[in-house]
Structure 1
């Protein structure tokens, strides 16, 4: 298994494992013509600015087509450097339950961050254990909205208190 390059790590920082489709824009968005493409990124960046110690690891399937450097370009200049890596891909031919959760665990272990505070922002519930408390689940048709903003913010507040 290969581990995508990590551009920077700070062992005291918390981590956000970020999906793209169904999170940063609604599922079904016509990427070539729609103003909804990455339409929810400004709301997420607002929250990331409030919690500057949170670093981001891309867990989306977008990591399979684009490098971390390419994915960073979607983010504002002041957030871009906080995109520190992408999760590894487990064998795509293997039938794996909770695939994304296992990919996150592999990234944590492969980067020496097994004890890090972290949360996943995703719209794919079957890729995590049922009731998984480190998951902020978005509705794929609504993407990252005020409800998921508040839920994610509560995780970030908990991380800040734990420092």
Structure 2
């Protein structure tokens, strides 16, 4: 499947994969047109403070944006557990069995256009 034709989109991984694999292992797991957009991982939050956050992945995204002086950037998460984000966060919920499919691509495209 070809990725949504949003050529300026950049991808940051917030998956638990980042705990297991070094960065260079992750991009080849995706289609080439998506892999070239992967620019990094979200940071790990301080373990002493993570219990303070109800939406942990959301906090990781916000911390990534802060660390990269991109707090005002548009972003959207793609996650199989949308409960990691507050209800008003831009999230494309995917089915962990089907992954990122045509329906997910359509929803993502709506966020990015």
Deviations along 1:44-92, one digit per CA (max 9) or x if unpaired, are xx224x1110011011010111122221222344543321110011234
- Rg: which structure is higher? 1
Which has more helix, going by share of residues? 2
Residue aligning to 1:147: 103
Match in the other structure for 1:10: none
Q: Secondary structure at the match of 2:106?
A: helix
- How many residues align? The count is 111
2:6 is equivalent to residue 51 of structure 1: yes
Q: Which runs of 5+ in 2 are unaligned?
A: none
* 1:68–1:83 CA contact under 8 A, matched in 2: no
Q: Which has the higher contact order (CA 8 A, sep 6+)?
A: 1
5+ long unaligned stretches in structure 1: 1-42, 158-163
TM-score when scaled to structure 2? 0.84
CA RMSD in angstroms comes to 1.9
Question: Quick one: distance in 1 between partners of 2:10 and 2:30?
Answer: 13
